[in-house]
Structure 1
């Protein structure tokens, strides 16, 4: 089923603009109250006075970037529900972080534990996807969102960042629920969506294949995901900084644990949106007929076709996506400022710098990094397919860093020489596996998609697309068909991104 493509209306722009205005207002409020962000402790750690719920919601918001909000429904649409088994990995992750890593960082009372191109990608990628299907100008969205984020992060500090995260996670939930509810109404109920997905081989769980070359299995989605997200949540500056803003260790641990059910709720909602997309497009795949060019454009197209006729709802969805962007970017800017002031300025250049000067420098660094991020979106715009490689490199580096921190935390006798050797050995291996998956990217087994319901002209005009799809994807009937092994230097490359943090390539 295909619908009519609609463009953004005035009501949609109003809803989207309100989200930016509210985010900026929160920054102004916290910039003008309390100590007015006059100390580095307040600016970078909210004076360690944040309560459990806002910290938990902030952790969740910074975890869910717009890339994940776009990517998870596309994953479910293309490959089915096997990916949702990652919820087990989330449940394993929370106690590991809460009871192994957080106590160490909290007791040390650190501000810094050790990302500008990545922030540019996070800002640019959803803007590009939305432009393709809604007509929302890429550079208008990049510039407006980037400037608002720099403003409230610099003016309001960590308190503003975390309370805007609370607002933004509410917007994410509202946007996803509005899409899911309206699409369920359009299709006659959630049961019809599940039925269509079942017939299309999109409902599948618990593949226990022990082969590490398989794309997604229980093992890669639990243990692989555990170590991938340990690097992101356990020793990542943005996540650690939030936990350290709690007044007590117990509060920090509870906040981290509460992150788990929130992640599962968002996983369920985004997965159901993916199934709803399949039910909507099952007879006329927009990738095969050339209506869109990339899988991350599936959800925006689906939204514009299914709820685009309701004034304001597309704007709410865009607000949902950019809430994920705002939370990730604001977290990154604040963390980059923290690392610069603590590790470079206080750690090496000016150990005795005055508190007031350090605070002003922290704000200045936040602005500078924000400007660099916006400038780098122009670079990201020229990268094309390399965009995926940049994201892969961000993940590939996480493994060696996790190993270095874990060595220092749990083996007190370890010294810097051992850490350096470990990173130097692990990094080439991680790069070899991750980049091998990119260079040799094996064809991915996927359930079939159809053009049977498309207008005949579209099928004829896009015959080349169908041929390309058949050459690069294994068609499935009742079971997954084996695909050829792809190797680097005779060793198989894992197809799951969760073994190496490298991306799976999609259309």
Structure 2
């Protein structure tokens, strides 16, 4: 479909009203919880919601936080350029949720922790805990910078607002309601924002499909443009998106986000029972599938609409990440309020992600650093936590400046998660799945995993892949108006001997690996290196408390008792050891007295044992 005459498109008054309403509602939720919870102002209430959250809001919060503006703006543009292979992330999400719910979350929930990295001190040492915390903080600040920058770029493209003014407005609102209301405000604003995201997508899908000629026309055009050639089973790791890179690489990448990431685990352990925590993850899977389906369909509809005149090649947008907001203004400009709804949709994803990140960063800083060196009262701890929210709000907002130099937002965001998340996933896997792992193995494996994943990721940033395996599918400007034809640039400069001679040999192999494999590389290197160093230095598994591990043999119920004892490496794995669980009625300090293997808490004397959960285990 050819363009209408190119002209500047701006918001109507109704668009501004819809957009402003988003910020007003989010700020209002923060104020509501600040007033409601003022008499229960403790650091635990502020950071983990008193551990009384139910599964529904937490599920919606999880979906909204990780389906950010990176997904809303970046995924449709990626599908538009590279095809619909992104849909295979649905397979990755399925495995991610199952492993998170059945392996990682039960261990964290039973440990009674607030910061995920408390587990590492219980399992290994304080040094390993501090190193992991610092890595997480770097990862989260970098990622949050990207998701702040993305919707600001969209707003700048469609309305002409000042780019950095939008960035700072986003950061101020997020910091405001996160600081006032704590985790409860974050969860409930996420719930509201999830609804805004779905409605915004529906507006684009319905109107876009109608203008593109209907569902059948969209499908045929996508097929003709090779956007539906997604059944690519080529095992070549240099291919950017194939079935294997998306399903396998995507599983490792997103498991590093869902399985061990503080932002996710913090909301899971805020649930009032382990059953609610698991249910939140499974309900969240439905939300993930809905959002990824909407994003992929938006990309296909956008391709069908612009099949004869690519706005990027025609010079009407400056970057691929501006395609989606340009498309929205093209199809919704005659409906005042709807463009504002979509931009509110993009900002909803950002607000939820940034607020969750700020809250998580404040939590790990307070638990892993402040509490280690300062003995604070509950009131002082609450004020320190609020102050940390303000600090990290400023840091994450200013980090958006660096995001403007990172290229495509989807690849940049997932690359950061892969480079940091893979080694972190490997570290926690060493602790949970392999009882034999010692502290030296954990530390050495983490160093090796971080080194290899950053080597691949930074090398790819310096030497971008030039091979045709990573290039976008063909686009055309044949249907553009004469006014725009002079700016058409549809060809990619061919590789020359001079270009390739300046690139190191690794650039065409190691650095050209699909960005989705960074996490897998980091994970495998961390686990393999950790087990090798443990074998060389000697296992100390008999000192591990049974509630801190869930060996791989537990996932294979058909294994014999002999094999289970072997995999538990001398740690008592009798059913009684599973009774060491925390429940809704935890002691004020949320700590557990050490219990030796085979010993059992007296349920009559210990009120915070989750009797209901123990009954479920026995059944």
Q: Are 1:434 and 1:501, in contact at CA under 8 Å, matched by a contact in 2?
A: no
Work out whether 1:232 is the aligned partner of 2:257. Answer: yes
Cα shift at 1:204: 2.0
Change (3 A) 1:199 1:18: same
Cα shift at 1:113: 1.3
Query: Where in structure 2 are the equivalents of 1:93-104 lying within 5 Å?
Result: 93-104=96-107
1:304 aligned to which of 326, 329, 344: 329
Structure 1: gaps of 5 or more residues = 473-484, 503-507
Q: Are 1:30 and 1:156, in contact at CA under 8 Å, matched by a contact in 2?
A: yes
TM-score, structure 2 as length reference = 0.75
Question: Which one has a bigger Cα radius of gyration?
Answer: 2
Cα shift at 1:302: 0.1
Q: Are 2:97 and 2:258, in contact at CA under 8 Å, matched by a contact in 1?
A: no
The count of corresponding residues between Structure 1 and Structure 2 is 484
Structure 2 residue matching 1:488: 3-state secondary structure:
helix
Change (3 A) 1:107 1:11: same
Cα shift at 1:424: 1.3
Q: Are 1:333 and 1:366, in contact at CA under 8 Å, matched by a contact in 2?
A: yes
Work out whether 1:337 is the aligned partner of 2:362. Answer: yes
State how far apart, in whole Å, the 2-side matches of 1:53 and 1:433 are. Answer: 39
State how far apart, in whole Å, the 1-side matches of 2:424 and 2:332 are. Answer: 43
Change (3 A) 1:307 1:19: same
In structure 1, the partner of 2:446 is: 423
State how far apart, in whole Å, the 2-side matches of 1:254 and 1:121 are. Answer: 30
1:447 aligned to which of 469, 473, 480: 473
Cα shift at 1:42: 1.1
State how far apart, in whole Å, the 1-side matches of 2:81 and 2:519 are. Answer: 19
In structure 1, the partner of 2:482 is: 456
Work out whether 1:471 is the aligned partner of 2:494. Answer: yes
State how far apart, in whole Å, the 1-side matches of 2:57 and 2:460 are. Answer: 38
Work out whether 1:435 is the aligned partner of 2:458. Answer: yes
Give me the CA root mean square deviation.
2.2
1:404 aligned to which of 398, 413, 427: 427
In structure 1, the partner of 2:3 is: 2
Work out whether 1:292 is the aligned partner of 2:299. Answer: no
Q: Are 2:3 and 2:481, in contact at CA under 8 Å, matched by a contact in 1?
A: no
In structure 1, the partner of 2:45 is: 42
State how far apart, in whole Å, the 1-side matches of 2:458 and 2:66 are. Answer: 24
Query: Where in structure 2 are the equivalents of 1:210-359 lying within 5 Å?
Result: 210-346=235-371, 348-350=372-374, 352-359=375-382
State how far apart, in whole Å, the 2-side matches of 1:433 and 1:88 are. Answer: 25
Structure 2: gaps of 5 or more residues = 118-139, 496-502, 521-619
Cα shift at 1:309: 1.6
In structure 1, the partner of 2:396 is: 373
TM-score, structure 1 as length reference = 0.90
State how far apart, in whole Å, the 1-side matches of 2:364 and 2:510 are. Answer: 38
Q: Are 2:14 and 2:340, in contact at CA under 8 Å, matched by a contact in 1?
A: yes
Work out whether 1:57 is the aligned partner of 2:60. Answer: yes
Cα shift at 1:391: 6.6
In structure 1, the partner of 2:114 is: 111
- Post-superposition CA distance 1:227-247 (Å, at most 9, x none): 111111111110110111111
Change (3 A) 1:250 1:337: same
Q: Are 1:486 and 1:492, in contact at CA under 8 Å, matched by a contact in 2?
A: no
Structure 2 residue matching 1:310: 3-state secondary structure:
coil
Structure 1 residue matching 2:313: 3-state secondary structure:
coil
- Post-superposition CA distance 1:228-285 (Å, at most 9, x none): 1111111111011011111111110111111112111111111111011101111110
In structure 1, the partner of 2:176 is: 151
Cα shift at 1:53: 0.8
Structure 2 residue matching 1:466: 3-state secondary structure:
coil
Q: Are 1:487 and 1:493, in contact at CA under 8 Å, matched by a contact in 2?
A: no
Q: Are 2:208 and 2:301, in contact at CA under 8 Å, matched by a contact in 1?
A: yes
Cα shift at 1:295: 0.9
Identify the range of structure 1 (78-87 vs 34-43) with the bigger mean alpha-carbon deviation.
Answer: 34-43
Change (3 A) 1:307 1:501: farther
